[in-house]
């Protein structure tokens, strides 16, 4: 069948293929969802290199991340050239129209993972993204408590404003629009500073420990989500869960009462029709990281708190500590 999407015609094959067996949602339901929230998800993806999380046969079939632009992509969908930590590079899909999202859904894309950069400058992020990840023994309500303290930290260090959203799972994401003046390394350093400050204020509830064995039942501030080539599901992205939940933008006044399962492929279109994109003004702001980077400098100078481990697939980075979990680290003999 053919769908009209903001002036483009997008062909949809096998529209009745079931993607979410528990709910009965089909590929057509997915495409119609992305049409319904089109202006919102385009705001989240516009001009950003975007990795596609594809499930061609639905959530119970094989899946993969597609970083390079798919073969046969229409010429009206632009690309952006990005470089990975390995030194390799690729051209990634870079949506500028709502129809690009529906075109990707035709190929089984459920979740869109945009880089925190724009095509015009792919080496300087324009978003600081904070991922509040509940560990075993914690849940969304614990992430909410951390998010409120995070809001206070952001305001205290530079008057930063964050925009919260559900992850589509149990966690919360808070995005801060920033001036594109800093490198990925500097933005990651700012995220580490945020995490450490949260950990100081909520030591029993929040951790920035990279190794799972050290986290305990706390909310993990996943600072490595700000490293180059690490991405977070976009606002309005459908998540590959049986309930077909979506990553839902929230107003701060909604964070306490919201529950991740409130927002799914069936309910979000009605919310969007009523409220529109509650993060629509996000791109009108651009904050400075100077105060957070000064906090990071003081952490290192006054407390000896330098860099933290990178993900395992990254090359060894300058100033990075040993990348080995504590229980496996070789102990130096006593003098």
Which residues does 128 contact at the CB level (< 8 Å), separation at least 6? 116, 160, 175, 176, 178, 187, 190, 191, 194, 226, 287, 289, 292
127-228+285-303 folds as DNA primase, PRIM domain (3.90.920)
pLDDT tens column, 125-156: 999 999 999 999 999 999 999 999 999 999 99
* pTM score above 0.75: yes
2-123+236-249+269-275 folds as DNA primase, PRIM domain (3.90.920)
pLDDT of residue 335: 52
Q: What percentage of the chain has pLDDT greater than the value 70? A: 98
Instruction: Measure Cα distances from 2 to 31, 66, 102, 138, 287 in Å.
Output: 11, 24, 11, 45, 42
Q: Report, as ranges of residue numbers, the positions in the chain whose pLDDT lies below 70.
A: 330-335
SS3 label, residue 207: strand
Q: What percentage of the chain has pLDDT greater than the value 90? A: 93
pLDDT of residue 326: 85
Residue span(s) of the chain under CATH 3.90.920.10 come to: 2-123+236-249+269-275, 127-228+285-303
């Amino acid at each position: 069948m053919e769908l009209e999407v903001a002036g483009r015609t997008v062909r949809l094959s096998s529209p009745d293929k079931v993607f979410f067996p528990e709910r009965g949602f089909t590929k057509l339901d997915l495409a119609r969802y992305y049409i319904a929230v089109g202006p919102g998800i385009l705001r989240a993806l516009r001009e950003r290199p975007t990795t596609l999380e594809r499930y061609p046969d639905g959530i119970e079939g094989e899946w993969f991340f597609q970083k390079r632009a798919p073969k046969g992509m229409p010429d009206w969908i632009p690309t952006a050239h990005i470089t990975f930590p390995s030194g390799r590079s690729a051209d990634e899909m870079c949506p500028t129209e709502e129809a690009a999202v529906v075109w990707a859904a035709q190929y089984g894309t459920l979740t869109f993972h945009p880089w925190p950069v724009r095509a015009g400058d792919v080496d300087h992020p324009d978003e600081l993204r904070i991922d509040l990840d509940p560990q075993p023994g914690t849940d969304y309500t614990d992430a909410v408590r951390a998010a409120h303290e995070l809001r206070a930290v952001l305001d205290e260090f530079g008057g930063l404003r964050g925009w919260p959203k559900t992850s589509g799972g149990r966690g919360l994401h808070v995005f801060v629009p920033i001036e594109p003046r800093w490198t990925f390394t500097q933005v990651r350093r700012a995220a580490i500073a945020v995490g450490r400050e949260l950990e100081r204020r909520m030591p029993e509830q929040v951790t920035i420990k990279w190794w799972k064995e050290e986290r305990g039942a706390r909310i993990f501030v996943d600072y490595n989500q700000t490293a180059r080539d690490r991405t977070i599901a976009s606002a309005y992205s459908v998540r590959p869960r049986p309930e077909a939940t979506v990553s839902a933008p929230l107003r701060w006044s909604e964070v306490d009462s919201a529950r991740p399962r409130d927002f799914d492929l069936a309910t979000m279109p009605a919310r969007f029709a009523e409220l529109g994109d509650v993060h629509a003004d996000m791109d009108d702001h651009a904050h400075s990281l100077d105060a957070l980077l000064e906090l990071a400098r003081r952490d290192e100078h006054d407390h000896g708190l330098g860099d933290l481990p990178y993900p395992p697939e990254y090359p060894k980075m300058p100033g990075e500590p040993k990348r080995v979990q504590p229980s496996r680290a070789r102990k130096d003999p006593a003098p």
